Chains A and B, each alone.
Chain A
Amino acid sequence: MADTIKADLSVSIGSLKLKNPVMTASGTFGYAREFEPYVNLHRLGAVVVKGISLEPRAGNPPPRIVETSCGMLNAIGLENVGVDRFITEKMVSLQDVKVPVLVNILGDSIDEYREITKRLAGVAGIAGIEVNISCPNVKKGGVAFGTVPEMASAVTRAVREESTVPVIVKLSPNVSDITVIAKAVEEAGADAVSLINTLIGMAIDHKSRRPKIANVIGGLSGPAIKPVALRMVYQVSQVVSIPVIGIGGIETYEDVLEFMLAGATAVQIGTANFVNPRASEEAVEGLACYVKEQKLRSIRDVIGALILP
């Protein structure tokens, strides 16, 4: 083990230095402490905590989740304790954990995103903000911020203006060309992009003739979406110069390597945390062994090193 610790796994997301490229994805790792019985949190690159809104949200009625082939659909409805309780309760309990904490934020209007960012500014222990732009814009008839370049850009600009820490914008895959949105948020000042959020899907029980989740449609995640995620990470990496964080069906260090080869600087492990709560730490261990075995100077040598036919 002493041998593997020497492997250089460090990466940078803007001014944020991570000891390795493995983070946990928002909404799949609670507020991190839930995973302490299984994971040495300080060995992870970073943790991204559950999405936070200005006011607490109760979330959607049940059933909220259903398993699908090699994946799952969820419509949790962004249940969270709200930004104020997050700061006074959850963040306080995270302060002695030696791992960068990224806070995922969401809102129904630009003002809401701005206000949440203001309240998070200067809170001890927050290393970065990840902006969920897949939420519907209530003022614009419920069209998701992440699907219109101008709206994605406006949210990014508002958060960037108020934030004292790096801003990562999490992109929705439910668009015709994700590179357009990626470029828009880069121009608006995003320090990095993370992708992909869940793909919108549906499951039906033919016997009862009812949808399997109460919200009718939900977000698909897990191994089923990995090829789509890889493709989008590859495409976005070609057009932006800010770091790309890969998300979508990642479970093992081999998956991490695939995303890094496609151009990702770092990754987030999501649904796999539900199945194997140690997945993130095991991926870090696997990467360390890989770097040693391949005699790489750094894991950074892998970023974008895809060999094309």
Chain B
Amino acid sequence: MSQFQEKTEITRIERLAVDIYRLTLLSPEIASAAQPGQFVMVRTTNSKDPLLRRPFSICQTSSGKYFQILFKVVGRGTSLLAHCREGEFLSVLGPLGNGFQVDYNSANCLVGGGMGIAPLLFLGKTMLRKCKEQQPIVVLGARNKDELSPLVADFKELGLLVHAATDDGSLGRHGLVTDVLKNISFGTECQFSVCGPTPMMRAVHFFCKEGEYACQVSMETAMACGMGACLGCIVPVEKGGYAHACSDGPVFNAKELLWPIQ
């Protein structure tokens, strides 16, 4: 497994919505090793406070040199990142964890919610590259149009059709992604790759269970190290005990987890 600790240059900062940002970082090592669903740990400051790195899914890579992360400002760490400038350097560890395991020749459905949409863009892009004949079905949800439309645009740019749902109905269907899923007919072979808030993933897991579709989910938890040392990032598993989101995941077969996850 290739992992790197890199000083990466911020080559681009985009403000996609009021509190949503996308950073483009330069690191040929990380960009060329990354697989869809893997993540990076980013240091938000050189000082001792905030102390810990923050985990972010890799949103996409380009030219084997650049990778992007997408985030919403939710606290001090993300606020510091939002205030970075192009040309500054960030310490990044990665790529970390296990990504999505996908049969690219099969029918696929990507279901994303909020910032959880990030790794699905990377996955969708990879799917199109590996198998042009099979376009994945894309279902994306967020709170409102402001949040969702810049993310939908990325998928549309790839030529993918997006089914949208928003909590307030300002874009796409007024409701949840599962309301959208219920109105799409999927082939029995369809495989679901899901990332978003835990209640959403849980709902999609139950939808898939009922329809007997394969379903993978990417779990987000608090974590200190991202590499299997701190044992902070646990998720309960069906067979009892816990798995570690960083080293066993973050992508899991939804059936192996013990739902509902808090």
A binds B: yes
Please give the residue numbers on chain A whose beta carbons come within 8 Å of chain B beta carbons, in ascending order: 27-30, 34-35, 37-38, 50, 58-59, 61-67, 69-72, 74, 76, 79, 222-223, 271, 273-278
Q: How far is the CA of A74 from the CA of B230 in the complex (A)?
A: 9
Q: Are A30 and B232 in contact (CB under 8 A)?
A: no
Smallest Cβ-Cβ distance to A24: which chain B residue: B229
Interface string of B209-244 (1 = CB under 8 A from A): 000000000000111110111111011100011100
Q: How far is the CB of A143 from chain B (nearest CB, A)?
A: 25
**Does B49 interact with chain A (Cβ within 8 Å)?**
yes
Smallest Cβ-Cβ distance to B232: which chain A residue: A65
Q: How many B residues, CB 8 Å from partner?
A: 33
Known contacts A38-B3, A59-B242, A28 near B43 by CB under 8 Å = no
Q: Are A30 and B224 in contact (CB under 8 A)?
A: no
Write out the residue numbers on chain A whose beta carbons fall within 8 Å of the beta carbon of B50: 67
Q: How far is the CA of A35 from the CA of B96 in the complex (A)?
A: 12
Please give the residue numbers on chain B whose beta carbons come within 8 Å of chain A beta carbons, in ascending order: 1-5, 43, 48-53, 91, 93, 221-225, 227-232, 234-236, 240-242, 247, 262
Q: How far is the CB of B224 from chain A (nearest CB, A)?
A: 4
Q: Are B242 and A277 in contact (CB under 8 A)?
A: no
Q: Are B229 and A38 in contact (CB under 8 A)?
A: no
Q: How far is the CB of A226 from chain B (nearest CB, A)?
A: 10
Q: How far is the CB of B250 from chain A (nearest CB, A)?
A: 14
Write out the residue numbers on chain A whose beta carbons fall within 8 Å of the beta carbon of B52: 67, 72, 274-275
Write out the residue numbers on chain B whose beta carbons fall within 8 Å of the beta carbon of A222: 48, 51
Smallest Cβ-Cβ distance to A63: which chain B residue: B222
Smallest Cβ-Cβ distance to B229: which chain A residue: A30
Write out the residue numbers on chain A whose beta carbons fall within 8 Å of the beta carbon of B4: 37
Cross-chain contact of B51 among A34, A61, A64, A67 (Cβ < 8 A): A67
Q: Are A71 and B51 in contact (CB under 8 A)?
A: yes
Write out the residue numbers on chain A whose beta carbons fall within 8 Å of the beta carbon of B91: 276
Write out the residue numbers on chain B whose beta carbons fall within 8 Å of the beta carbon of A64: 231-232, 234
